[in-house]
């Protein structure tokens, strides 16, 4: 039996890409899933797919930029399943552009989703995890959280922040048996490039993403981190396409 069996797992950004792939991977190992995203039709389809294969999944339409909605997501999970074993903070945006273009709305959106969304998720689940002295919070950073590229200054800033927050969480909650994991993907087939609003920059990124790896590769890494014994913490993984140099 997998150590993931019967664990209650919340996944934000579950409607596509890494979130969707992770939901299917964890369901195959017996997890009880709570799917969160803004697009209800996508959530309904994913729930149906999981249930049709014998898995357990519920969903709640959630905007991670709302602290109230994230609190409601945690409360909903506790009401339905009685516990929260794992939170996967996966929701993210990457509308990259050069700073001189002053795309302030894009900057604000990245800060709201990529940083505040992670913090709101942590705040929502920590009370119940601390009470149970058990839990696991997995935050999706990026290779951009390790290396800054031209055009990705703000996105990289948000992903560096995710790594800092995750490391602080690890140190603060180690005595409460709450594990912290940072997953830093390189180029992965997902909708991230679609969030780019700079039409000059977008083709450059799309060309780079021609060598992107499948989202299932990241899903397997997430499952690996979760299925370790509770006294083992996989704190950080950086996963690139073999051909990605930086």
Distance CA 217, CA 219 (A): 5
Kindly tell me the sign of the dihedral angle through the C-alpha atoms of 195, 119, 144, 4: negative
Q: Is 120 marked active-site?
A: no
Could you identify the residue written with the tokens 């996944």?
11
Exactly one of 59, 100, 155, 209 is catalytic; name it: 155
Contact between residue 174 and residue 217 where contact means Cβ atoms under 8 Å apart: no
- In total, the chain counts a number of residues equal to 246
**Phi and psi, residue 106, nearest 5°:** -65, -40
Distance CA 89, CA 9 (A): 11
Cα distance between the two ends of the chain: 38
Q: CB neighbours of 124 closer than 8 A, spacing ≥ 6?
A: 67, 70, 71, 73, 74, 87
Using CA atoms, how far residue 43 sits from 77, 109, 114, 153, in Å, is: 16, 22, 20, 32
Distance CA 153, CA 9 (A): 32
Query: Per the structure block, which two tokens stand in for 99?
Result: 């700073």
Distance CA 12, CA 161 (A): 18
Catalytic residues: 155
């Amino acid at each position: 039996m997998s150590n993931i069996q019967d664990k209650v797992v919340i996944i934000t950004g579950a409607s596509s890409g890494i979130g969707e792939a992770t939901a299917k991977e964890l369901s195959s190992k017996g997890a009880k899933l709570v799917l969160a995203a803004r697009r209800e039709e996508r959530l309904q389809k994913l729930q149906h797919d999981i249930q049709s294969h014998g898995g357990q999944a519920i969903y709640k339409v959630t905007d991670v930029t709302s602290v109230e909605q994230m609190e409601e997501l945690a409360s909903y999970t506790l009401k339905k399943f009685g516990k929260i074993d794992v939170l996967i903070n996966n929701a993210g945006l990457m509308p990259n552009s050069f700073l001189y273009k002053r795309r302030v709305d894009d900057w604000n959106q990245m800060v709201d989703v990529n940083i505040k969304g992670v913090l709101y998720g942590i705040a929502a689940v920590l009370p119940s995890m601390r009470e149970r002295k058990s839990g696991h919070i997995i935050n999706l950073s990026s290779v951009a959280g390790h290396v800054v590229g031209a055009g990705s200054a703000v996105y990289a800033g948000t992903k560096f922040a995710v790594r800092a927050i995750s490391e602080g969480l690890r140190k603060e909650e180690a005595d409460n048996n709450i594990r912290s994991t940072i997953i830093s993907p390189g180029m992965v087939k997902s909708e991230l490039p679609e969030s780019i609003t700079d039409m000059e920059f977008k083709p450059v990124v799309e060309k780079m993403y021609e060598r992107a790896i499948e989202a299932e590769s990241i899903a397997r890494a997430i499952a690996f981190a979760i299925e370790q014994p509770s006294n083992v913490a996989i704190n950080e993984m950086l996963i690139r396409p073999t051909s990605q140099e930086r």
